[in-house]
């Protein structure tokens, strides 16, 4: 009888253990700032992750040293985590990954890191020339996991590559989303390379058609691109028309369709697409409640995540990553980058105006990191959903 009771107890313990694995409580492991505004730095922004393994992660981001507009003096700094994103290099020990002065530039920003199939690490970034003049997007590479780097080279003048955006397809093609401006109208495109970025070609331009709902010029910027399961590439776009737009490529990025509404209201701010470990797509963007907010002076007060289970057509499971309805006049949150870690965790980072300061209009930004599991993400609100127009 005692042996029977022991067996029952062991079975119950095993069942409880398996239940805990399959139905784990939603978990946030990290919710903190990795870099903050202080006497030496006026802004931290435009970051990108490199996940080498489950433990070793590099975060590269731009630190502005004198003032905080996009063209002000800035370098790219590296923060390492060796425990899966729980702890990070202290700000005062961050390593300079790229100096603007080494290129005789005023500013380097908008960094993306990519581990190539041949083992190299590719870094892209944008540079402003002296006096704030546009320069273009540069790349450089490392053959020893970011310990040393070769000399940067300019791959496209004037156009800007986005932070944390680059990826490599299974056939080896590298995709670098970029954007530019002509006659004060913004457009988007991608650079693509079949020789490990030794040479790059530029796709056609993705533009917006004139629309009566536009607030200002009908422009699109800061594209984010992911491969869909059928091999098509999906591009989401920041626009000036009050919502996110999308475009598709069926030839691995060489040509793109005319941009169409994605059905998601949004201010003119960067959004980010990420393929999750379970195959669904996560979107991070600045949520708005109504059109009045889109056209208002402070539309980046809520940073939210949503999930698509049908390859980007419909979106649900709304989760607030930062901000809320109570923060609509005291906080600005923007420019998120993400990475999947292990089989069940996501790490996201973004710029956030310090709560202690009200000078948010001039782009004072701390840099915030949150690490959470998929259970936390999927426990979001499903009362709000978005769907692309048919």
Provide the sign of the torsion angle of the four alpha carbons 183, 186, 192, 196, taken in this order.
positive
Give the model's pLDDT for residue 77. 98
Give the model's pLDDT for residue 4. 45
104 backbone dihedrals φ, ψ, rounded to 5°: 60, 40
Contact 42, 364 (CB under 8 A): yes
Give the model's pLDDT for residue 213. 46
**d(C-alpha 95, C-alpha 60), whole Å:** 9
Label residue 26 by pLDDT band (50, 70, 90). Answer: confident
In this predicted structure, which of 50-64, 355-369, 374-388 has the lowest mean pLDDT?
Answer: 355-369
**d(C-alpha 159, C-alpha 195), whole Å:** 21
Label residue 202 by pLDDT band (50, 70, 90). Answer: very high
**d(C-alpha 192, C-alpha 226), whole Å:** 14
Helix (H/G/I), strand (E/B), else coil: 268: coil
**d(C-alpha 275, C-alpha 382), whole Å:** 20
Q: Is residue 288 predicted with pLDDT exceeding 70?
A: yes
Contact 137, 160 (CB under 8 A): yes
**d(C-alpha 363, C-alpha 109), whole Å:** 15
The answer, as to whether pTM is greater than 0.85, is yes
Report the percent of the chain where pLDDT is more than 70: 87
Give the model's pLDDT for residue 6. 53
Radius of gyration of the chain (CA): 21
Label residue 28 by pLDDT band (50, 70, 90). Answer: confident
Identify the CATH number of the domain defined by range 28-387.
Answer: 2.120.10.10
**d(C-alpha 220, C-alpha 272), whole Å:** 14
Contact 71, 52 (CB under 8 A): no
Question: How does strand 107-115 pair with strand 121-128?
Answer: antiparallel
Q: Is residue 111 predicted with pLDDT exceeding 50?
A: yes
Mean pLDDT, the chain, whole residue set: 89
Contact 230, 292 (CB under 8 A): no
Give the model's pLDDT for residue 27. 83
In this predicted structure, which of 88-102, 215-229, 238-252, 333-347 has the lowest mean pLDDT?
Answer: 215-229
Give the model's pLDDT for residue 357. 57
Helix (H/G/I), strand (E/B), else coil: 291: helix
Q: Which two tokens stand for residue 166?
A: 């680059």
Q: What is the pLDDT of residues 313-339, one digit of tens each?
A: 999 999 999 987 776 666 789 999 999
Q: What is the pLDDT of residues 42-67, one digit of tens each?
A: 999 999 999 999 999 999 999 999 88
Label residue 170 by pLDDT band (50, 70, 90). Answer: very high
**d(C-alpha 80, C-alpha 211), whole Å:** 45
Give the model's pLDDT for residue 294. 84
DSSP 155-220: EEES-EEPTT--EE-TTS-EEEEEEEEETTEEEEEEEEESSTTSS-EE-PPB-PPP-TT-SSS--E
Give the model's pLDDT for residue 177. 98
Helix (H/G/I), strand (E/B), else coil: 362: helix
Cα distances from 14 to residues 20, 78, 233, 289, 355, in angstroms, run: 10, 44, 44, 46, 47
Question: How does strand 185-193 pair with strand 174-182?
Answer: antiparallel
**d(C-alpha 160, C-alpha 211), whole Å:** 25
Q: Is residue 11 predicted with pLDDT exceeding 60?
A: no
**d(C-alpha 74, C-alpha 62), whole Å:** 6
End-to-end CA distance of the chain: give it in Å, rounded: 66
Give the model's pLDDT for residue 242. 93
Higher pLDDT, 165 or 21: 165
Q: Identify the residue whose tokens are 């080279």.
A: 153
Give the model's pLDDT for residue 210. 63
In this predicted structure, which of 107-111, 264-268, 320-324 has the lowest mean pLDDT?
Answer: 320-324
Across-strand partners of 349? Answer: 337, 369
């Amino acid at each position: 009888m005692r042996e029977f009771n022991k067996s029952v107890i062991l079975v119950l313990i095993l069942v409880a253990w398996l239940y805990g694995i399959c139905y784990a409580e939603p978990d946030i492991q990290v919710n903190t700032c990795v870099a903050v505004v202080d006497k030496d730095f006026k802004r931290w922004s435009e970051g990108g992750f490199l996940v080498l393994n489950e433990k070793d992660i590099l975060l590269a981001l731009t630190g502005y040293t004198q003032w905080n507009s996009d063209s002000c003096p800035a370098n790219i700094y590296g923060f390492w985590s060796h425990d899966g994103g729980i702890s990070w290099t202290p700000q005062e020990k961050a390593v300079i990954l790229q100096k603007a002065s080494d290129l005789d530039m005023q500013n380097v920003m908008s960094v993306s890191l990519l581990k190539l199939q041949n083992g190299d690490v590719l870094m892209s970034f944008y540079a402003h020339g002296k006096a704030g003049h546009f320069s273009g997007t540069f790349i450089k590479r490392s053959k020893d996991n970011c310990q040393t780097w070769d000399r940067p080279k300019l791959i496209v003048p004037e156009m800007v590559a986005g932070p944390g955006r680059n990826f490599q397809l299974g056939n080896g093609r590298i995709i670098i989303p970029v954007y530019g401006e002509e006659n004060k109208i913004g457009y988007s495109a991608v650079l693509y390379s079949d020789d490990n970025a030794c040479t790059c070609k530029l796709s056609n331009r993705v533009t917006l058609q004139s629309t009566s709902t536009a607030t200002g010029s009908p422009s699109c910027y800061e594209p984010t691109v992911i491969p869909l399961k059928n091999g098509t590439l999906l591009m989401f776009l920041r626009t000036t028309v009050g919502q996110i737009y999308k475009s598709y490529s069926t030839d691995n990025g060489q040509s793109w369709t005319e941009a169409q509404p994605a059905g998601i209201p949004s201010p003119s701010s960067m959004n980010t697409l990420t393929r999750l470990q379970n195959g669904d797509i996560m979107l991070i963007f600045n949520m708005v409640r109504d059109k009045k907010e889109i056209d208002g002076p402070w539309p980046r007060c809520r940073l939210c995540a949503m999930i698509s289970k049908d390859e980007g057509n419909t979106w649900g499971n709304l989760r607030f990553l930062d901000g809320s309805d109570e923060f609509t006049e005291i906080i600005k949150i923007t420019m998120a980058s993400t990475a999947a870690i292990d089989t069940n965790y996501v790490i996201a980072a973004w710029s956030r105006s310090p709560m202690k300061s009200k000078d948010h209009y001039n782009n004072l930004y701390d840099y915030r990191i949150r690490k959470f599991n998929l259970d936390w993400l999927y426990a979001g609100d499903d009362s709000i959903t978005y769907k692309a127009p048919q």
